[in-house]
Every structure is written in structure tokens, then in C-alpha cells.
Amino acid sequence: MPQQLHQLSSFHIGTAVKWPELSQKSSYSHLALSQFSSFTPENLLKASRIQPQRGKFNWQEADAFVKFTEQHGKRMHGHTLLWDRDLPPWINDVPGDEKVLLDHVRHIMTRYAGKFSGWDVVNEAFTETGELRPGSWFKVGGSEYLTKAFVAAEKADPHALLFYNDFDLEVNERKRDAVLSHLIKLRETGVRVDGIGVQLHLNLSTTRLNKIASSLKTMATENFLVHISELDVSVNPYDGETNTKEELFAMQAELLVQLFSLYSEINPSKRYGITFWGVCDNHSWITSDLKQVDYPLLFDDEYRAKPAWHALMKFFSNS
Ligand code: XIL
């Protein structure tokens, strides 16, 4: 493909990558390497993979990913240290043992210190009503577990940017405000939190672009970096779509252009970048993990650019 999306953009355009596709499928890695400037490992760093048994870390694939990505000069974004899903079963046997939390953060971040530009230190910790979820990491680290995680992260890799990552922050004001006030309080007590990851798993019924714009701006105004961290646009979320693929792809393209345009209005110093949650439709978590019929990304099953890619190329060429 002659043109490269990431080269036209003033901010990073990233993708979540699946390993071993990246290492074994040349059509996949070619496309990822040519179009995106930032790589997030989609699953490799999740606790069930990286620490399947207490104290026994499985570095092999993560090391290989880091080496590969570094060789190709891509920015790396770490996802994710603390999340209540994809956990190894032993985590339920250690409530109240904060050393487990500290060791998890420390070991991973120390091993890769200087390699990852940023980390999703904590993922999806808040409920839709703005409470801290009483999940596994809460049970391990207690009600102050975010503080403990961010402090340990900063110590382990002082140069890495530290993010809190979650979904619905762009549209659910109650959740957004709870998260913002929690993070601001952490900062007031001297804890470093650099940015917020807004996942943005969207579908075509997203009409609240103004709301998204004002949420992202609020975060930037509060001096947080803003990362659109897991972008995809489902075109068949309820599996009853009657529009043609052509129509759906045109709407998907239009929505993405609007989104990129509103992101471009954020203060440049606060734009960490936009990361798509996958490279092409058949490797999207929506199709390959959730097993839905869908086409949420920029490239199709044959690695061909979809209308959304063309529309974004045009958007950047004109702006
Ligand atoms: C998903 C991956 O894409 C899947 O492959 C995996 O089976 C489950 O996790 N929010 C997140 C991501 O923060 O880590 C999730 O990724 C998607 C939702």
C-alpha cells in the first residue's frame, strides 16, 4: 500500500496487535507496520497471560513483542496492569495481600522500563454509577489500590506516562466526573497520573459527538493527556442490520472523520493519540472473540483498505 495513514497525522495513530499474528502472518504485520505508528499488545500483558501462577511470570511472548516492536521503531503502549478480567484464578486466594499488587506492577514495569511510552496502569475500575468496583484488585489492594498502583508504577519506570483507562467516560457524565475527581484527588496527594484512556468502542447509533467532544476537552483542560485507546465502530451491533455493506461503511467512515476532527481540536500537547482496537475486521475482538458478524475496523478480511481508511486519508490531506 503506497500511502501510510500514520504519516499524515500530527498525533500517533495506533493499533492493538495480536501476537502471534504479528510475528507469523506477514500480510498482517505488513499492514500494521505500514499504517500505524503505535502498538498496544491486545492481550499479552494481561494478568492471566503474564503471571499465570503467583510469582511465576511468563515473559516469553511479551519479550518477543517488545523486541519486534522496538526493532520496527514503533511507539509501545502497555495494556494493562490492573484489570478485573483476564485474571489468573489464584488472584482470588490472596485478598488483602497488597504485596501481590505491588509486585505485579513492579515486575512488569521494571522489566520493560524505558520501552513503553505509556501504560494503562488501571483499567475499568469504576462502575457506571461512579463507584469503585468491588473487584479482585480492590480486594487485593484495598480501597486505596489506585494510589498504590500509580505510585508503584512511577517508581518502576519514572519515564513512562501513566494512564487510567475506561469505557463510557465520553458519554456517562456521572462516571466521567467520578473518575476525574478521583484522579484529581490522587494528584493533589502527590500521585502522578498523566492521562486518561477513553476506550470508544462505538457503533453507528453514536450521535452524541458533542458530548464526546466536551468530555475529551474537559479531560485536557484538567491537564490530562487524552488517549482514544480502543477505537472501533461496530456496524452490526444487534445483528439485524438491513442496510447494505456499502451504506454501513459510508456511515462508519463519516463517524470516524467526525471523531478525528473533534480530537484534532484538543490542545496538541494533550493528544497522546488514537488507537484502533485491531488491524482488520477478521481479527477484531468483536468478530474473533465475541463471534459476531461485524466490520468494525479500517481494513477488511483481505487486508484491503475500507472506505473509512480512504476518508481518513482524505481528512488528513485536507487538514
Ligand atoms: C479484549 C480483547 O480484545 C480480547 O481478545 C480478549 O479476549 C478480551 O479482551 N476493554 C479492554 C480490552 O480494556 O482489554 C478488551 O480487550 C476489550 C474491552
Pocket residue to mutate for ligand 1, from 17, 22, 40, 43, most atoms within 8 A of Cβ: 43
Whether residue 32 is predicted with pLDDT greater than 90 in this model: the reply is: yes
CA of 37 to the centre of ligand 1 (A): 20
Nearest to 133 by CA among 148, 121, 146: 146
- Beta-bridge partner residues of 305: 299
Peptide bond into 80 cis (omega under 30): yes
Instruction: Give me Rg for the CA atoms of the chain.
Output: 19
Q: Cell triple for residue 295?
A: 466490520
CA 18 / ligand 1 centre spacing (Å): 11
Instruction: Please tell me what DSSP assigns to residue 133.
Output: P
Quote the ligand 1 centre to 284 CA distance (angstroms).
10
Determine how β-strand 161-166 pairs with β-strand 195-198. Answer: parallel
Query: 52 pLDDT band (50/70/90 cuts)?
Result: very high
pLDDT tens, position by position, 259-273: 999 999 999 999 999
pLDDT recorded at residue 73: 98
Percent of the chain with pLDDT over 90: 96
Counting from 1 in the atom list of ligand 1, the atom nearest the Cα of 120 is 13
Neighbours of 61 (CB within 10 A): 17
pTM across the whole model = 0.98
Average pLDDT of the chain, as a whole number? 97
Instruction: Give CA separation, 12 vs 42, 220, 270, in Å.
Output: 17, 17, 12
Q: How confident is the model at residue 1 (pLDDT cuts 50, 70, 90)?
A: very low
Kindly give, in sequence order, each residue whose CB lies less than 8 Å from that of residue 24, ignoring residues fewer than 6 positions away. Answer: none
Return the percentage of the chain with pLDDT > 70, whole number: 99
Q: How far apart are CA 211 and CA 5, in angstroms?
A: 27
Q: Judge whether residue 88 has pLDDT over 60.
A: yes
**Range 271-290 average pLDDT:** 97
Q: Residue 2 — very low, low, confident or very high, per pLDDT cuts 50/70/90?
A: low
Q: What backbone phi and psi angles, to 5 degrees, belong to 204?
A: -70, -10
Rounded mean pLDDT, 281-310: 97
Cell of 21: 499474528
Q: State the number of CA atoms in the 13 A half-sphere of 299 facing the CB.
A: 23
- What DSSP element (H or E) covers 163? strand 161-166
Ligand 1 atom 2: the closest Cα is on which residue? 285
Ligand 1 mutation target, pool 77, 122, 196, 277, most atoms within 8 A of CB: 277
- Residue 130 pLDDT exceeds 80: yes
pLDDT digit string (tens) for 181-226? 999 999 999 999 999 999 999 999 887 899 999 999 999 999 999 9
The finding on whether 194 has its CB within 6 A of some atom of ligand 1 is: no
